[in-house]
Amino acid sequence: MTTNNPNPCPVCKLEGQEVIREADYGERITYNCARCGKFTITRTAEHMAEKRNLGPKLSAWIRNRFELGMDIPEISTNSLTEIEQSLPDYNPSDKQQFFLQSIARKSKYPGDSVSLLPEFDYPLAWASASEELLFYIRYLIERGLLARTDDEETQAFGDMSVSVEVAADGWEYLDQHEQRAVELSQAFVAMSFSESMKMVWEKAIKPAINEAGYKAYRVDAELHIDRIDAKIIAEIKKSLFVVADVTEQKRGVYFEAGYAIGIGLPVIWCVRKDDLTNVHFDTRQYNHVVWESTQELKETLYDVICAVIGRKHKI
C-alpha cells in the first residue's frame, strides 16, 4: 500500500514536499524522501531516530547510499545504534571532495551540466543545511574545480537551483587524489596474525566482507616493500571502513581502529566471547560482534556490514 505522508520525513523533517510512505501493514514503513532518498524504517526505530535527533548526518548517510545504487537501507532498532556510532564527522575539506565526486558521478560526460536544488541536495556534501552546501559550491568555483553553467547575471546564486559542471582542473584533481570513503570498496581488517586466528580470517571475516560486496584487506596478506607502519596508514586511508577484531588484545589492533576513528571511518568491532571481559575499557562503549564460532562470526558480521555500511554488488 502506498500513501502520501502528511507528516514530515522522520529523518530530515522535510516539509512542504510530498513524501511517499509505503506501509506493509506491519512494523516497517518505506519513505521516498526528496532529500534523503529511499529508505525503510520500523515504527520503533522512527521514534528512536526522532528522539536522538540524528538529523543531517543520518540523512546524508541514507542519501549517499541511495546515490551509489546500494540496497535500500533498512533501519531497525537493532541497526540504528550501530549506524549512529558509525556516522562520520567529516571536515570541510572532506565534504568538498565528496561533493565534487558526487557531481562527477552525476555527470554523463566531462562538460555535462548538473542542476542542483540546495534545499534538497545538501546531503550530497554531508552538509547540515543548504547554506553550507552553497558555501562549498562557491569555494570549489573559486578553486577552479567547479564552474557555473546557468545564467549568473539573471539568477542569484542559490535561488531555488544552481547548475554547475566539473571544470577541467576538477577532473584532474579527482584523477590525482585517491577517492576515499563513499567511493571505495576496500575494508581494512585489523586483527591478530597468530596461527590460532588464521581460520577466523579465512573462514569468517574475509568471506563476510567479500559477500557484502567489498574487498577484505589485511596488511600481512600482500607482499610489499613499504615500511609496515606507513603501509597500514596508507591502506586505512584507502578504505571505506575497518573491521577490528580485538581477540587476543593486540595493541596494534587498537591503534589501527583508533586511527580509523580519528579520520572519520566507521569501525566494526568484534571479539571472541571468552575474551570479552579483556576488552580495553576505552572501547567498551562500542557495540561488539561477540562470537563463539567462525560460522557465527561470518553470519553476524555480514549482517552488521549490510546494516551499517550497505551491501554492494558481490565482487
Give the model confidence (pLDDT) of 260-303 as tens digits.
Answer: 988 878 899 999 999 999 999 888 888 899 999 999 999 999 99
pTM for this entry: 0.67
What does the block give as the cell for 118? Answer: 540546495
pLDDT at 158: 55
The single-letter DSSP state of residue 277 is: G
Q: Which residues of 155-185 are buried (b: 16+ CB within 10 A; e: fewer)?
A: eeebeeebebbbbeebbebbeeeeebbbbbe
- Find the angle CA(314)-CA(109)-CA(122) to the nearest 5 degrees: 75
pLDDT value at 154 more than 70: no
Task: Using the 3D structure, point to which of 34, 54, 86 is the last residue of a domain.
Answer: 86
Q: Which residues of 14-29 are buried (b: 16+ CB within 10 A; e: fewer)?
A: beeeebebeeeeeebb
pLDDT in tens, 191-210: 999 999 999 999 999 999 99
Task: Using the 3D structure, point to which of 54, 86, 118 is the last residue of a domain.
Answer: 86
pLDDT value at 3 more than 60: no
* Sheet architecture: strand order including 74-75: 2-5, 19-23, 28-33, 37-42, 74-75
Which is nearest to 145 in space by CA: 189, 97, 179? 97
Whether residue 132 sits in one domain with residue 57 = no
Q: How many domains in the chain?
A: 3
293 in a domain, yes or no? Answer: yes
The residue with greater pLDDT, 26 or 260, is 260
314 in a domain, yes or no? Answer: no
Whether residue 127 sits in one domain with residue 102 = yes
Whether residue 62 sits in one domain with residue 141 = no
Q: Rounded to whole angstroms, how far apart are CA atoms 24 and 1? A: 6
Sign of the dihedral defined by the CA atoms of residues 85, 89, 94, 97, in that order = positive
pLDDT at 263: 80
Instruction: Give the pairing type, strands 19-23 and 28-33.
Output: antiparallel
Torsions phi, psi for 33 (to 5 deg)? -95, 140
pLDDT at 182: 44
Enclosing H/E stretch for 21: strand 19-23
- What integer best gives the mean pLDDT of the chain? 85
pLDDT at 311: 80
pLDDT at 224: 44
pLDDT at 268: 94
Whether residue 234 sits in one domain with residue 292 = yes
pLDDT at 18: 67
279 in a domain, yes or no? Answer: yes
Whether residue 70 sits in one domain with residue 22 = yes
Instruction: Give the domain extent around 21.
Output: 2-86
Neighbours of 218 (CB within 10 A): 17
pLDDT at 165: 96
216 in a domain, yes or no? Answer: yes
**Could you tell me how many residues make up the chain?**
315
Q: What is the mean pLDDT of residues 34-57?
A: 85
- Residue 138 burial class via C-beta count within 10 angstroms: exposed 0-12, middle 13-18, buried 19 and up: middle
Asked whether the beta carbons of 126 and 61 are under 8 A apart, the reply is no
242 in a domain, yes or no? Answer: yes
Sign of the dihedral defined by the CA atoms of residues 60, 63, 68, 69, in that order = positive
pLDDT at 223: 45
pLDDT-based confidence at residue 153 (cuts at 50, 70, 90): low
Q: Is 122 helix (H, G, I), strand (E, B) or coil?
A: helix
Sign of the dihedral defined by the CA atoms of residues 182, 186, 256, 295, in that order = positive
- % of the chain at pLDDT higher than 70: 86
Whether residue 293 sits in one domain with residue 198 = yes
313 in a domain, yes or no? Answer: no
Whether residue 303 sits in one domain with residue 261 = yes
pLDDT at 261: 87
Q: Rounded to whole angstroms, how far apart are CA atoms 246 and 275? A: 9
